[in-house]
Structure 1
Amino acid sequence: MLLPHAQTLAQARSYIAALADQALKLDASSAYERVLLELDRVHGDECPALDTEDLTDDRAILLACARSAIQELEDYGVDALSVELILAMLVDAHDLDIG
């Protein structure tokens, strides 16, 4: 994995972890964690560390940033279907969080 790919993956993981930490419901937090697990699985568990310090508390911004970083992973060779599955899981987690 090249550095730009690792940086994008680290950003996606960090935003999702922040969403999990800030979730209002336990089910939503667990759903965000499943998104992280799927993201890690797609990358063969070759995953950079999380860094959630200094991230915004605005969950809408975190969601938008996570979505953007996940979509960008396609540019680094991640299968488009895997990206769409992860994005769908992210939306489902968010729906649990706000619903």
Structure 2
Amino acid sequence: MAAYIIADVTVTNAEQMVKYREWSTRAMQEHGAEVLVRGGTSETLEGDWAPQRLVMLKFADREAAKRFYHSDTYTHARTLREGAGVMRMVVVDGV
């Protein structure tokens, strides 16, 4: 069953986030992520959620998503993101 990583990102240092995106892209490619959403304009339809930047990645299953997250490449990307943004991330099973 497919699994999705959904991230709500608040960027605080756009210049530093460039390095994070380079390494996170590399990790996505290494782990077969299909990028469904990466930025773009969002519009709140209900509630008070107003995300700055949304990312949605599709993986073959939850274990593949977790391998991506815990990989050496993505771990390095996370260190590059420190001080450059706030990440809220979940993994959810598809249907």
TM (normalized to structure 2)?
A: 0.45
Q: Which has the higher contact order (CA 8 A, sep 6+)?
A: 2
TM (normalized to structure 1)?
A: 0.44
Larger Rg: 2
| Greater helix share, structure number | 1
| Greater strand share, structure number | 2
